[in-house]
Amino acid sequence: MTAAALKQGVDAYIWHVIDEKIDHSLTELTANHGLILAQLTVGLRKAQKYRDLIRTNDMLSAIALADSLTELNNRRALEWDLPRQIKKARTQKTPMSLIILDVDHFKKVNDTHGHLIGDRVLQLLCKRLRHNLRCQDTAFRYGGEEFVIILANTTGEEALVVARRLNRVVCEEPFSISNKLTINVTISLGIGCLQAEDDEQGVSLLHHADQCLLQAKTTGRNRVIASNYLSHIPHLNAVSS
């Protein structure tokens, strides 16, 4: 019976056999009652420790997937989430797009004002980006001053609307660092849209968007470039502010 109970996954057990032919003393019944309460206390303590462990693991996971400076998701989070988003889009047969953006001439900001000011610019930039994204959009800090935004259930044309808006809200208003310092910032953006031939991990999708970003930077910066498959739409593949 003990072996059967352990195989069922019990953590504790008490055999309490009731036999009317046996005259149980009051002392024995009291002892059994106390033992049952003690076992319940142990079970509750184990459950609390398990809940604490789950809570700690959740907190550590959140820390591991977050960028401490900008409070966006980090690159590790992107590597985990992008394949999941691609699988979901293909399963549900919905479109999916992706934006890579980069801060123009960010090295000049660091060289002129110092890295602390540069960090503050990135924080203000990410705050502005978050306030101008839709609920289904997920932003990541890809590295340095480069960011990736996954646009779920979004066509290439819709992604362009989002990218144009982000480009506009960044460049139209300088970033106020202090009462005495404001810094003008612009961003370049590249757009990729999920295609049937793209791999499941999202490497090719990122590559398409990254090539568009490179083109945006080499053709003057402060603009949006979309993938070639959107070029048949007038004024779509290059937009400057």
The one catalytic residue in 79, 145, 146, 173 is 145
Residue 51 CA to residue 41 CA, distance in Å, equals 15
Nearest-angstrom CA–CA distance, 103 and 222:
9
Closest by CA to 79, choosing from 35, 140, 24, 121, is 140
Buried/exposed 42-73: b ≥16 CB within 10 Å, e otherwise: eeeeeeeeeeeeeeeeeeeeeeebbbeebebb
CA distance 62 to 220: 38
Tokens at 54, concatenated: 């789950």
Is residue 145 flagged as an active site residue? Answer: yes
Close Cβ partners of 8 (under 8 Å, ≥ 6 residues apart): none
Q: Give burial (CB, 10 Å; 0-12/13-18/19+) of 140.
A: buried
Which helix (H) or strand (E) segment holds residue 204: the answer is helix 203-218
- Tokens at residue 229, please? 């498959």
Q: List residues bridging with 149 in a β-sheet.
A: 99, 139
For the annotated catalytic residues, the residue numbers are 145
